[in-house]
Structure 1
Amino acid sequence: MQTSLHNKTILITGATAGIGLATAHALLQQGAKLIITGRDQSRLYHAVKQLDGNVIPVLCDSANIAQIQQMAAQLARDKITLDGLILNAGVFYPAPFEQMSADNFHSTMAINFTGPVFTLQALLPCLNNPSSVVFISSVAVQKAFSEAGVYSASKAAFEGFARVLNLELAARGIRINSVRPGVTATEIQAKAGMDDATINGFFESLNTTPVGRVLTPADIIPAINYLISDASIGLRNAYIDIDGGFGL
């Protein structure tokens, strides 16, 4: 099996920055056709300009089930079918358990767990047989990080759901696998409320890991590329840890 994605149609959620945007760049270079989603129109427009390829942008907030269903209906109307779906949209709002709010809990679960579940459900009629679904999980499902309880639970919840879905959706030729990035330098740290000094200090602490540095989206892309391609046809509910040895 080859990893070529020429003429494959792939949808990436949350592709306006970070791992999602970097993955979109890489897949376009291999000849893929993309649909990308984002929840901010201006950022979505900017991403499309950056990508400068065969890209269809769709405004869709992964926490909004009505928008997810509208997106699926739009693809169906346009007779667009998918060879791959990359469930990348996610948030990280760190908070110690004692101070954790209901809003923090529900917003994290809505975007990191509920959103991917209902995105996959809504897009079932659009997914070809065979097709690949790749969930961008996190090393946090197995490595404990202080103040990351809800984040860890949200990622682990989808991985658990995927185990069952790999059985239920087998007849449709749909396979679901996960990539678990370690600490990766993207906008997620700033969005989590960390200032520049804290971010830089955190990244410098990773110089002691076997890889000797913080990871970048470029380190994660090859695993996503493999799982979304036909080369992964035999995998079901597999996960690839990419943590630079952080968990050793």
Structure 2
Amino acid sequence: MSSTLQGKTILITGATAGIGFATAQSLLQKGARLVITGRNQERLNQAVRKLGERVIPVLCDSANVAQIQQMATQLQRDNIKLDGLILNAGVFYPVAFEQMSLDNLNTTMAVNFNGPALTLQALLPCLNNPSSVVFISSVAVLKAFATAGVYSASKAAFEGLARVLNLELAERGIRINSIRPGVTATEIQAKAGMDQDAISGFFESLSSTPVGRVLTPEDLVPAINYLISDASIGLRNAYIDIDGGFGL
């Protein structure tokens, strides 16, 4: 087990599937204790059954400010102090700019920007000194994708906030760094409205990238583990691009 993660208490948002769930599995194997969030109670219960007893589940929709505050109150009441916070919960609703609606804009920003910003703010009293915050951003902040404008903007917005927070929260020992995943096979494609044929075709098109395939959540986990651990103590506002060479 890694000495930099053994005994750490880490909160992961959106940990019932995909990158969040894979990260939870890895951190548990390395001796961490976890708090995980999800917005669906049944799926949250399923995740806990798979992950085991060192997991504290909290029902929390990242778009629901009241639930974020309730989560923070619960952790403070139970005297749970966090060594790490992984801001993973996110949504992707592709739409061309000309057809973009206010609802699409507000929904995306509520989860991808407001959610992590307000979660971090609410959990400040729970974060130890030092502690690590890892934001799951996207390669979309660097590479333009048609119909991904709002998604790209939402991720870039938090990256901009994080730059300032690395200064404002320095006295608290809080550091914020980001992972920028490339196209990764998770539920996000289906939730974006793609059918199975479209998903399969999209993934097949990635065979031309240097890595030769679509990424999996497991491809991202080692970098997340590094940033959330004591090994990254010297990093502030760093970005690790994990895109399989897609941007070359």
Shorter-chain TM-score: which interval?
A: over 0.9
Residue by residue over 1:66-112, the C-alpha shift from the partner in whole angstroms, topping out at 9 and shown as x without a partner, is 11011000000000000000000000000011111111100000000
Distance 1:3 1:241 in 2: 25
Q: How does 1:228-239 map to 2 (within 5 A)?
A: 228-239=228-239
Q: Is the 8 A contact 1:184 1:214 kept in 2?
A: yes
In structure 1, the partner of 2:94 is 94
- Would the aligned equivalents of 1:5 and 1:27 in 2 still touch at CA under 8 Å? yes
Q: What is the Cα deviation at residue 4 of structure 1?
A: 3.0
In structure 2, the partner of 1:174 is 174
Inter-partner Cα distance in structure 1 for 2:100 and 2:29 = 42
SS at match of 2:105: helix
User: What corresponds to 1:43 in structure 2?
Assistant: 43
Partner of 2:217: 217
Moved over 3 A (4+): none
Question: For residue 189 of structure 1, what is the aligned residue in structure 2?
Answer: 189
Match of 2:241 in 1: 241
- Whole-angstrom distance in 1 between the partners of 2:201 and 2:12: 31
C-alpha deviation, 1:3, in angstroms: 6.1
Shift of 1:37: 0.2
Structure 1: stretches of 5+ with no match in the other structure: none
Q: Distance in 2 between matches of 1:184 and 1:71?
A: 29
- Across the aligned residues of Structure 1 and Structure 2, the Cα RMSD in angstroms comes to 0.7
How do residues 3-18 of structure 1 correspond to structure 2 at under 5 angstroms?
4-18=4-18
Once the two structures are superposed, residues 181-226 of structure 1 have per-residue CA deviations (whole angstroms, 9 ceiling, x without a partner) of 0000000000000000000000000000000000000100011000
Corresponding position of 2:147: 147
Q: What amino acid is aligned across from residue 213 of structure 2 in structure 1?
A: R
Q: Quick one: distance in 2 between partners of 1:112 and 1:80? A: 25
User: Structure 1 length normalisation: TM-score?
Assistant: 0.99
CA distance in 2, matches of 1:21, 1:102: 31
Aligned match of 1:106: 106
Alpha-carbon distance, 1:52 to partner: 1.6
- Maintained 8 Å contact 1:112/1:154: yes
- Which runs of no fewer than 5 residues in structure 2 stay unpaired? none
Q: How many residues matched?
A: 247
Q: Can you list the C-alpha shifts for 1:134-190, whole angstroms capped at 9, x where unaligned?
A: 000000000001100000000000000000000000000000000000000000000
Shift of 1:50: 1.1
Where do 1:14-29 residues align within 5 Å?
Answer: 14-29=14-29
Q: Helix, strand or coil for the counterpart of 2:180?
A: strand
Contact 1:3 1:226 in 2 (8 A): no
Answering whether residue 141 of structure 2 is matched by residue 131 of structure 1, we say no
